[in-house]
Structure 1
Amino acid sequence: MSEVVQCYDQLASNLSLMAALARAKEWDRLPELEVQCVSVLERLSVVSPQETLAPAQVAQARRLLERIRADQRAVCELVKPQLAHLVATMAGLQKRSELDRAYGAPR
């Protein structure tokens, strides 16, 4: 298997796992996998220009890319509400802190 296809395969595996973890609301494991994806993408940017793929490998890479995109969309759809909730919670805490400072509430 070409290194380019191996990179796409690793990305597909990581994003599939990320989607499963997001569905299970196991948010703490996502950052580690995201770091791994970045590493694979960096490697892909190095090896991709150096490697010519056979037609079968191009087809395999396209199939993997479709999986990657689908799982990436799923992860985004699952993470966005969590981020919105986190931002709202942080805004509430900031507002409370400002009120405490304004009215001299003990810390």
Structure 2
Amino acid sequence: MTEATAEPRLHYMTTKTGNNMAVRSEVVHCYEELATHIAQMLALARAKDWGKLPELEARCAALVERLRAIEPLETLDAIQVERVLSLLDRIRVDQAEVSGLIKPQIEDLVSRMGSLHRQKSLGRAYGPTH
């Protein structure tokens, strides 16, 4: 059985109300992990530490794929749904800021690549410049 088709695992933790054990779903856990990774991406983007973003983006993509596989298999209770919706709001806000910080960097990179391509084309047409 592959991980994508495996039954959702349940995570256990003590609630704030005492010794009662609350069952937390893998769906909620995946959304929590996704929110954490995107928050880390936001911190890196704010610090202009671009090199670590691809690894975190890959982790996010893996979590999204996992969620696609397990969400249809699991029914969340009202508290879990509320938690997921709260996490989704946080994810959307953080992702929008990450995108806003990354977009100018990508545009600059595309511009530089275009400039290098033009220089290379001119070099082939007219010979190297000195």
State whether TM-score is above 0.5.
Answer: yes
Report the AA paired with residue 32 of structure 1. E
* Greater per-residue strand proportion: 2
How much does 1:49 deviate?
0.3
Aligned residue runs from structure 1 range 61-80, under 5 A: 61-80=84-103
Q: Percent identity?
A: 49
Query: d(CA) in 2 for partners of 1:101 and 1:72?
Result: 42
SS of structure 2 residue aligned to 1:105: coil
Q: Which residue of 2 aligns with 1:53?
A: 76
How much does 1:105 deviate?
1.8
Query: d(CA) in 2 for partners of 1:103 and 1:30?
Result: 40
Query: d(CA) in 2 for partners of 1:104 and 1:79?
Result: 36
Q: Which residue of 2 aligns with 1:6?
A: 29
Aligned residue runs from structure 1 range 34-45, under 5 A: 34-45=57-68
Query: d(CA) in 1 for partners of 2:128 and 2:46?
Result: 40
Report which of the two structures shows the higher radius of gyration computed on alpha carbons.
2
Higher RCO, Cα 8 Å, sep 6+: 1
Aligned residue runs from structure 1 range 78-97, under 5 A: 78-97=101-120
**Structure 1 stretches of 4+ moved >3 Å:** none
Using structure 1 for the length normalisation, give the TM-score: 0.97
How much does 1:101 deviate?
0.4
Give the alignment's Cα RMSD to 1 decimal.
Answer: 0.8
Report the AA paired with residue 81 of structure 1. P
Query: d(CA) in 2 for partners of 1:46 and 1:92?
Result: 43
* Greater per-residue helix proportion: 1
Report the AA paired with residue 29 of structure 2. Q
Unaligned runs of at least 5 residues, structure 2: 1-23
